[in-house]
Structures are given as structure tokens and as C-alpha cells.
């Protein structure tokens, strides 16, 4: 019953983002600006290549973090698992990429399924902690711009109230079984390299947005790009469409306009950046599919149970 309430809450938040996306499309979509941005990206292949490399490096760093946490896994397996997860999350409406990620690692490197699953859960928690730090720090630094929106204060207050009551009703006892693994990695020498790799992976991902803003002279410094990217990725928790379509654009456009109130530019940047990531995910998916022709078997319940 409690799990059902959480799902309902997450779907409600996702629905709000989808409605916001539709509203932005009606009021702020500028086809000319979007095509101009895409034309500049295509006409500057070195620029696009740099963005592609930096975004790819983000996944290499996450693979390094995963390999450090799970030494018995091969680095190539970690890369394949992460790319497969990215691809699947961009073709299915719900986040189920980690199922394939776990299945690939467990089967190819012959590691017990539960050990791989625990590693993915712990690394996901570290991802969320790092993103929460970036998002919170940015919100404090840019608070004078964030609070300019008349809707943000009631949203924060209402969200806080809802979160308070939800957490009171959630049974968090399931986290206890991961406490031992968390303590183990916290006290080991691997903890710092893992965290450093995760931090810089999100820094590399923020480069995509930062470089995209340069093409239309959108006034954004890199620390702001890092904050916006953290907000957007955090918002993908409420994914209900392939690749978080609509949620991604709504959160990014809103965050960008807290810094510079040009909705048309912000919305075009959100669309172009997400399109870039979609294309990257499909290229990564074709690569993994070439390496693992039986990729789809890893998302069947009987293959990962």
C-alpha cells in the first residue's frame, strides 16, 4: 500500500512536469532558434566531437567507479553495462536500464546477481548524494534568482510537507541490509577514488550544456551549468517517458530561466541538449548491441532473477 502511494506521488510529479512541458511548447517554442542551434552544432563538427567525447568520458568515469567498487568485474563489462542501461532508459518509458546493467555484469563475469545488484544500488546512492550536493549548493548560491519565481516558494513548501509525510510512512528497513556494504566501502581506500570519479563524471556531463549555451551566447558560467545539469538529472527520478522526455525539458528550462529569463532560448537549449543525449544513447546502444547480440535477454525477468 505504501509503495503504491509512492508510485502515485511520483507519477503525479511527472504529470506536472509533462503539463509544464506542454505549456512551454505552446508559449515558448521557437523553431527558428532551435534550427539555428542545431545548424551551428552540425556546422561545427569539432565542437560536437568535443561534447561527444566529454559526455562519453562521463560514462568511462562511472565505469571506473563501478570497477573500483566491484574489482571482480571487468572494466569492459562495466562500460557495456552502463551504455546498455543508458540505451534502454531512452527507449522505455520507465527506468529499467539497471536491470540490463546488472544482468550483463552478472552473466558475463559470473558474479552473483545480488552482489552486482548491491554494487549498482550503492553507486546509485552515491550518484544521488553528489547530485544533491551540487543542486543544494547551487540553490543556495543562486537563491536570489531562484526565488524570483512566484511559484517556487509554494512548490518548495508543498514539496517539503509532502516529503515529510511520505518519509514518515515509508518503511526504510530494507536499507539495513546494505548498511554493511556501505560501511565496508566507506572505510576502504577505494572510497575516495570512487567519489572523485563520480563527481568528475557529472562535471563532464555538464560540459554538454555549457558548450551548447556558447552557441547562442546564453549567459551561463560553468558552475551554473553544473547546477542546472544536477537539477535536471535529479528530476529524471520521475521519468515516465523514454529518456525522461518532457520532464528533462521542463526542469532544465525552468532552472535556466532562474539565471537568465529568456524562456525561448532556455527551452531551445533544453530541447537541443536532450536531442544530443538521445542521439548519443542510440549510438551507445548500437555499440553494445554489436558487442552483445543477445542484449534483450538481459531485461527478461527469467534471465536476471
* pLDDT (0 to 100) of residue 150: 45
User: What is the average per-residue pLDDT within 73-92?
Assistant: 94
* pLDDT (0 to 100) of residue 77: 95
* pLDDT (0 to 100) of residue 179: 61
Higher pLDDT, 241 or 81: 81
Check whether 192 has a pLDDT greater than 80.
Answer: yes
Per-residue pLDDT band for 300 (boundaries 50, 70, 90) equals low
Per-residue pLDDT band for 4 (boundaries 50, 70, 90) equals low
Least confident of 11-25, 62-76, 158-172: 158-172
| pLDDT tens profile 99-157 | 889 989 999 999 999 999 989 988 998 998 899 899 888 877 765 555 555 444 444 55
- The neighbour count for residue 168, using CB atoms within 10 Å, is 7
* pLDDT (0 to 100) of residue 297: 63
Q: What percent of the chain has pLDDT over 70?
A: 80
Cα(69)–Cα(190) distance, integer angstroms: 7
Check whether 184 has a pLDDT greater than 80.
Answer: no
Higher pLDDT, 205 or 135: 205
* pLDDT (0 to 100) of residue 293: 81
* pLDDT (0 to 100) of residue 178: 59
* pLDDT (0 to 100) of residue 291: 87
* pLDDT (0 to 100) of residue 298: 59
Per-residue pLDDT band for 302 (boundaries 50, 70, 90) equals very low
**Model-level pTM?**
0.86
| pLDDT tens profile 24-74 | 999 999 999 999 999 998 898 888 999 999 999 999 999 999 999 999 999
C-alpha cell at 274: 536532450
Residue-averaged pLDDT of the chain: 83
Least confident of 31-45, 76-90, 172-186: 172-186
| pLDDT tens profile 229-269 | 999 998 887 778 888 899 999 999 999 998 888 999 999 99
Amino acid at each position: 500500500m505504501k509503495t503504491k502511494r509512492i508510485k502515485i506521488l511520483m507519477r503525479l510529479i511527472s504529470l506536472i512536469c509533462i503539463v509544464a512541458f506542454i505549456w512551454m511548447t505552446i508559449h515558448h517554442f521557437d523553431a527558428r532558434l532551435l534550427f539555428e542551434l542545431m545548424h551551428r552544432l552540425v556546422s561545427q563538427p569539432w565542437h560536437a566531437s568535443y561534447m561527444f567525447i566529454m559526455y562519453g568520458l562521463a560514462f568511462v568515469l562511472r565505469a571506473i567507479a563501478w570497477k573500483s567498487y566491484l574489482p571482480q568485474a571487468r572494466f569492459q563489462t562495466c562500460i557495456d553495462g552502463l551504455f546498455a542501461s543508458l540505451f534502454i532508459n531512452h527507449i522505455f518509458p520507465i527506468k529499467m536500464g539497471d536491470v540490463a546493467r546488472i544482468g550483463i555484469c552478472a552473466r558475463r563475469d559470473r558474479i552473483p546477481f545480488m552482489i552486482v545488484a548491491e554494487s549498482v544500488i550503492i553507486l546509485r546512492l552515491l550518484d544521488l548524494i553528489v547530485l544533491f550536493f551540487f543542486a543544494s549548493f547551487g540553490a543556495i548560491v543562486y537563491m536570489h534568482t531562484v526565488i524570483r519565481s512566484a511559484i517556487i516558494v509554494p512548490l518548495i513548501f508543498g514539496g517539503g510537507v509532502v516529503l515529510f509525510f511520505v518519509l514518515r510512512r515509508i518503511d526504510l528497513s530494507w536499507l539495513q541490509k546494505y548498511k554493511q556494504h556501505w560501511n565496508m566501502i566507506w572505510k576502504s581506500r577505494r572510497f575516495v577514488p570512487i567519489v572523485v570519479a563520480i563527481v568528475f563524471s557529472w562535471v563532464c556531463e555538464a560540459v554538454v550544456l555549457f558548450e551548447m549555451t556558447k552557441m547562442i551566447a546564453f549567459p551561463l558560467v560553468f558552475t551554473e551549468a553544473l547546477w542546472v545539469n544536477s537539477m535536471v538529472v535529479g528530476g529524471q527520478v520521475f521519468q515516465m517517458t523514454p529518456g525522461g522526455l518532457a520532464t528533462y525539458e521542463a526542469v532544465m528550462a525552468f532552472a535556466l530561466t532562474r539565471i537568465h529569463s529568456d524562456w525561448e532560448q532556455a527551452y531551445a537549449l533544453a530541447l537541443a541538449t536532450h536531442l544530443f543525449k538521445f542521439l548519443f544513447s542510440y549510438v551507445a546502444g548500437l555499440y553494445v548491441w554489436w558487442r552483445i547480440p543477445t542484449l534483450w535477454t538481459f531485461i527478461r525477468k527469467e534471465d536476471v532473477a
